[in-house]
Amino acid sequence: MRIVLLGPPGAGKGTQAKVLAQKLQVPHISTGDILRQNVAQQTALGKEAKDYMDKGLLVPDELVTQMLDKRLQQLDVKHGFILDGYPRNLAQAKVLDVMLKEKKMDIDMVVYLDASAQVIIQRLSGRLVCKSCGANFHATNMPPKVALVCDTCKGKLYQRSDDNEETIKNRLSVYRKEVKDLSLYYQKIHKLEHVSADEDPPIVLEKVISLAKQRNDTVKVR
């Protein structure tokens, strides 16, 4: 089963993707993780990306796409994957189509996790991020075992400067404008499913798995 997860910041894409990947026994492919891995492993693409990051610039789409292409060539994606963080726009969706076609693969389902502004503000305003490994925690919903210390790598946790109500509303507005064409594209080819992400994560997960089974009755859940 090959699933793409879409949704605004704070909708819970990363959380759902990790658990869904475990349940369906397929890899979770996150472009954020791929980027960090390439930088940490000092691959040719990682070094190129780090040059942009060190200058405070965004890593170009082309570089991220090349990293994703290499990831999709690995053997563990043969029976499916959960893709999180890509595509972000219509142009990337078309690039992804070509990328997958070359590998004789196709997307089975695109799930749009839609959360209300109120819920997103509550989630993001309490978010804590690890400076070392990028892991996410939440002051209320998912606090670290030790205050401001990452459970995974013991790095220092901090709150992003853009995780405030006004900025979050702006980011949400920008995202919804950007994703409009992308959603219509997947809707026209009958791949899009909408799921409310306002509910608790286990309920959201159950709905996504149910949709996956409707799309493919051979789906096995661990």
The question of whether 18 is a catalytic residue gets the answer no
Q: How far is the CA of 87 from the CAs of 76, 110, 113, in angstroms? A: 20, 11, 14
pLDDT of residue 81: 97
Catalytic residue among 2, 123, 127, 207: 127
Confidence label for 190 from pLDDT (cuts 50, 70 and 90): very high
Tell me, rounded to whole angstroms, the distance of Cα 40 from its chain centroid.
20
pLDDT of residue 9: 87
Average pLDDT over residues 177-203: 95
As a whole number, the mean pLDDT across the chain is: 92
- For 9-68, write each residue's pLDDT tens digit: 889 998 899 999 999 999 999 998 999 899 989 999 999 998 988 888 888 989 999 999
- For 95-107, write each residue's pLDDT tens digit: 999 999 999 999 9
The question of whether 127 is a catalytic residue gets the answer yes
Catalytic residue among 18, 36, 50, 88: 88
Catalytic residue among 36, 171, 213, 215: 171
Q: Mapping DSSP to helix (H, G, I), strand (E, B) and coil, where does residue 40 land?
A: helix
CB-facing half-sphere around the CA of 159: CA atoms within 13 A:
14
Strands (E), 40-102: 81-84
The question of whether 222 is a catalytic residue gets the answer no
Q: Mapping DSSP to helix (H, G, I), strand (E, B) and coil, where does residue 218 land?
A: coil
- For 110-141, write each residue's pLDDT tens digit: 999 999 999 999 888 898 998 888 788 889 88
Tokens 């995974």 -> residue:
152
